[in-house]
């Protein structure tokens, strides 16, 4: 029997990390506002629950997923609100159980897909390991909002490599979200992981380069920190502009974060 792709184990580990942030919260803490305007901790977990349940459906029931996707409107924010609504109607203990069930279902469904087989998804079909990496991106971003709300420091690990690779793969999303033309360039990324390993992507001779800590890169592409608060360096005009618009997800860019917003918190 083929071994599960390593990204699935890392997806599960990141899910457990976020779970530990909320497992012992009281009901009042679930209503705390997070840095995402209008979203409480419950909203963050409801969004993750809806996303993981959607991934489970896509992997286990592609036809059912396609039927669901066909019913979505062109209003991204309205679709998100509709997906969250049934989960937000649940009390925190029930929502926590739904979140755990959705994580388990997504992990099991993705593990049953050959790595080279495409899984239908909202923007375009993705190989199962890439969809799992998208899940890691979601966990990182929404987990950061929860950690910031609670004043908790998360210790980064080299599991971030999957998010880095996903963000490099989706480097054009920031342009698309703003209706900007995608430049005819190829970026060079040289990012240092928490262990000190250097992760390199793109041609070594590119004049458009992004360098710096991988954790800062992940905070940037999930729009959880402003570039001014990160140790990322851009070489080239296009790379510099990219630091202003980078995001590893489709849909509205949102307001993002402002410089110095988290100065009191250790990254």
pLDDT digits (tens, 9 = 90+) for 201-234: 999 999 999 999 999 999 999 999 999 999 999 9
Residues 164 and 138 occupy one common structural domain: no
Residues 119 and 188 occupy one common structural domain: no
Residue-wise pLDDT for 146-166, tens only, equals 999 999 999 999 999 999 999
Rounded average pLDDT over 239-264: 89
Residue 2: is its pLDDT beyond 80?
no
Residue 73: is its pLDDT beyond 80?
no
Q: How confident is the model at residue 267 (pLDDT cuts 50, 70, 90)?
A: very low
Residues 86 and 214 occupy one common structural domain: no
Structural domain contains residue 1: no
**3-class DSSP assignment, residue 209:** strand
Q: How confident is the model at residue 4 (pLDDT cuts 50, 70, 90)?
A: low
Residues 103 and 197 occupy one common structural domain: no
Structural domain contains residue 266: no
The Cα 228–Cα 22 span in angstroms is 29
Residues 143 and 210 occupy one common structural domain: no
The Cα 118–Cα 219 span in angstroms is 28
Residues 106 and 221 occupy one common structural domain: no
pLDDT value of residue 122: 84
pLDDT value of residue 115: 87
Closest to 130 (Cα-Cα) out of 116, 109, 143, 144: 116
Read off the tokens for 3. Answer: 């071994």
Residues 97 and 60 occupy one common structural domain: yes
Closest to 154 (Cα-Cα) out of 142, 141, 139, 144: 144
The Cα 84–Cα 73 span in angstroms is 15
CATH number for the domain harbouring residue 123: 1.20.120.450
Per the structure, the complete domain to which residue 188 belongs is given by 160-245
Angle at 228 between CA 258 and CA 177, to 5 degrees: 65
């Amino acid at each position: 029997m083929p071994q599960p792709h390593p990204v699935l184990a890392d997806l599960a580990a990141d899910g457990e990390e976020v779970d530990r942030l909320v497992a012992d919260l009281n009901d009042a803490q679930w209503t705390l506002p997070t840095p995402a305007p209008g979203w409480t901790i419950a909203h963050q977990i409801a969004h993750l629950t809806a996303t993981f349940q959607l991934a489970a459906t896509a992997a286990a029931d592609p036809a059912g997923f396609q039927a669901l996707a066909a019913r979505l409107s062109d209003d991204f924010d309205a679709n998100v609100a509709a997906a969250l609504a049934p989960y937000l109607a649940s009390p925190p203990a029930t929502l926590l159980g739904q979140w755990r069930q959705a994580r388990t279902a997504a992990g099991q469904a993705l593990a049953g897909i050959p790595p080279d087989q495409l899984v239908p998804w909202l923007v375009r079909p993705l190989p199962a390991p890439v969809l799992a990496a998208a899940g890691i991106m979601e966990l990182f971003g929404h987990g950061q909002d929860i950690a910031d709300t609670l004043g908790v420091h998360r210790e980064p690990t080299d599991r971030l490599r999957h998010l880095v690779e996903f963000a490099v793969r989706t480097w054009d999303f920031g342009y698309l979200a703003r209706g900007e033309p995608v430049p005819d360039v190829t970026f060079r990324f040289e990012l240092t992981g928490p262990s000190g390993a250097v992760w390199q992507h793109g041609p070594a001779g590119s004049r458009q380069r992004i360098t710096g800590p991988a954790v800062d890169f992940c905070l940037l592409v999930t729009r959880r920190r402003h570039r001014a608060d990160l140790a990322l360096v851009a070489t080239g005009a296009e790379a510099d502009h990219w630091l202003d618009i980078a995001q590893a997800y489709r849909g509205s860019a949102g307001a993002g974060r402002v410089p110095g917003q988290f100065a009191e918190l250790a990254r």
